[in-house]
Amino acid sequence: MSSFTVLPAEGGLRGRLRVPGDKSISHRALLLSALAAGPSRISGLSDGADVVATRRAVESFGAQVTEDASDLIVEGGDRHEPDTVIDVGNSGTGIRLMTGWAATLDGLSVLTGDRSIARRPMGRVVAPLQMMGARIDGRAGATLPPLVVRGGRLRGLDYELPVPSAQVKGAVLLAGVGADGPTTVREKLPTRAHTEQMLATCGIRVESDGAGAITVHPGQVQPVDWAVPGDPSQAAFWVVAACLVPDSDLIIERVYVGPHRAGFLDVLRRMGADVELVDLDPTTTVADIRARTSSLTATEVGGAEIPGLIDEIPALAVAASAAAGTTIFRDAAELRVKESDRIESMVTALTAVGAHVAGRPDGLEVRGSDRPLTGGQVDSMGDHRVAMSLAVAGLTGTAPVRIDGWESVATSYPRFEEDMHRCQTP
Ligand code: S3P
């Protein structure tokens, strides 16, 4: 296990950063390219270990992946049963999307991952896929990995999501592409729309009734050249850091700010943050985000906005620790089944660096203070977002923060340290 010590920033965070490609879009670009008959080019793919694992996985299923400068060329369309167990590493998105994706393959796939993956609930994807006719087994009555998928021709399904989850929606829609008729997913709360948008880009007929029902029709995925924009979840760490570190003025370039992905910016604005979108491209919903030092006040975060910022709550909790008043995050019990129990992890870690934070069954309460965080020693609990949010806490505090389990950051942001130095170099 590696440790990393973050020292308080000596001056403001300044300049321009480019975060890794959006992780959600990266997984989907690989899976769709591997379904398409012909070559797809992907630029800007996330270099995190989660996406590397999905690349290896599609190669095991027969896709030919080659590098061309910093782009990937994926030659797909010839999927076959893998002759090895698929290891998704730490990636919940990877294993859940791939379960739906593999369910249309006439053959056997075995999907597993690391110790964190072994605890992630899979019943939410297995149940609808079984209703479509896929044969899936796994630990604990097919609710935990490893999963064994015996796929084939599936039946179309009309399914209401029991949890607002873009991963479950994505798994069912990906399976729907290979079904014998239309498949509809109904969501009560909107979640990130990448799967349906990207399927439509690949030539699949997709309909949305505007009231939460998304229907895909079976069809052949066409090759596409994908340009993956920057990941808003990674940008969130720098946006929060720039808001909290005095004398900061930072630009995070070319970030995806489309539907249900940039909710953290709305929350920060509500708290009084000086954040703005620069050069927003309305077609791609990609913009530069400019963040400057701000004085923040507490807010309440809950209800329908949660799916659009669930991954950013650790970073927002750090922002809340410096805001006047008590910020409440509610309706976010899903945090308990992420890479770690993020409610417990964040309570323990933020308390260790001097924040006043309490867990709720469905979220967090953070009592802000105008006294900076004190520094200390924390454990990432193997969770990349816990590690990076505590690095932000370290930049804003009065004493170093030592983060044990720092290696988890490679999951989504291998160049985090480099970028941290870059925005502190005068
Ligand atoms: C993701 C969906 C979200 C999110 C995850 C990525 C996706 O998970 O937390 O990091 O790419 O579909 P849930 O679908 O479990 O909410």
Confidence of residue 338 (pLDDT cuts 50, 70, 90): very high
359 strand-pairing partners: 364
311 is catalytic: yes
Phi then psi dihedrals of residue 273, to 5 deg: -70, 145
Position 425 scores a pLDDT of: 79
CATH code: domain 23-227 is 3.65.10.10
C-alpha to C-alpha distance for 362 and 336, rounded to whole angstroms = 8
- Whether the per-residue pLDDT at 77 is higher than 90: the answer is no
Q: How far is the CA of 344 from the centre of ligand 1 (A)?
A: 19
Mean pLDDT, rounded, for 1-27: 97
Q: How far is the CA of 164 from the centre of ligand 1 (A)?
A: 9
Q: Is 332 in the pocket of ligand 1 (CB under 6 A)?
A: no
- Whether the per-residue pLDDT at 405 is higher than 80: the answer is yes
Q: How far is the CA of 232 from the centre of ligand 1 (A)?
A: 13
Cβ atoms of residues 50 and 95 within 8 Å: no
What atom of ligand 1 comes closest to residue 28's alpha carbon?
A: 11
Q: What is the mean pLDDT of the chain?
A: 97
Mean pLDDT, rounded, for 280-303: 98
Q: What are the sequence ranges of the domains in the chain?
A: 3-21+229-422, 23-227
Q: How far is the CA of 248 from the centre of ligand 1 (A)?
A: 31
- From the candidates 288, 311, 379, 383, which is the catalytic residue? 311
Q: Is 310 in the pocket of ligand 1 (CB under 6 A)?
A: yes
Q: Is 410 in the pocket of ligand 1 (CB under 6 A)?
A: no
Residues in the chain: 426
Mean pLDDT, rounded, for 205-228: 98
- Same topology for domains 3-21+229-422 and 23-227, yes or no? yes
What atom of ligand 1 comes closest to residue 310's alpha carbon?
A: 9
Out of 3.40.190.80, 3.30.499.10, 3.10.310.30, 3.65.10.10, the CATH code matching 3-21+229-422 is 3.65.10.10
Nearest CA to ligand 1 atom 16: 165
Nearest CA to ligand 1 atom 13: 165
Q: How far is the CA of 24 from the centre of ligand 1 (A)?
A: 7
Mean pLDDT, rounded, for 129-149: 98
pTM equals 0.98
- Whether the per-residue pLDDT at 142 is higher than 80: the answer is yes
Q: For a pocket test of ligand 1, which of 22, 50, 93 has the largest count of ligand atoms closer than 8 A to its C-beta?
A: 93
- Whether the per-residue pLDDT at 426 is higher than 90: the answer is no
Q: Is 313 in the pocket of ligand 1 (CB under 6 A)?
A: no
**What pLDDT, in 10s, does the model give residues 240-255?**
999 999 999 999 999 9
**What pLDDT, in 10s, does the model give residues 352-371?**
999 999 999 999 999 999 88
